[in-house]
């Protein structure tokens, strides 16, 4: 298939990126009172610990937003002519 070809109808799949080198989910916690946030971390406990310390320093800051960012990858699904090119 040449670079100028266009696929009008083709099936694609979107999944969590598990390619070599892709990071896992990244977690953060944001205070909904002052909007300060934890450092991003690949484990959930660091942002949760940050929230507990933040409330300890600011007793009226009790609401938090848990933010999890995952990387996604789109790949040709079975039947898509590009699927064979990806192997």
pLDDT tens digit sequence for 21-48: 888 999 999 999 999 999 999 999 999 9
Distances in Å between the Cα of 75 and the Cα atoms of 4, 64, 67 are: 19, 35, 26
CA distance 68 to 27: 5
pTM (predicted TM-score) = 0.70
pLDDT score at 80:
86
- In this predicted structure, the answer to whether residue 7 has a pLDDT above a threshold of 70 is no
């Amino acid at each position: 298939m040449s670079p100028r070809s266009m696929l009008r109808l083709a099936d694609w799949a979107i999944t969590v990126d598990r390619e070599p080198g892709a990071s896992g989910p990244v977690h953060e916690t944001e205070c909904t009172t002052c909007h300060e946030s934890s450092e991003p971390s690949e484990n959930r406990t660091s942002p949760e610990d940050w929230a507990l310390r933040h409330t300890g320093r600011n007793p009226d800051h009790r609401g938090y937003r848990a933010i999890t960012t995952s990387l996604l990858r789109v790949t040709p699904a079975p039947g898509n002519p590009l699927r064979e090119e990806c192997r």
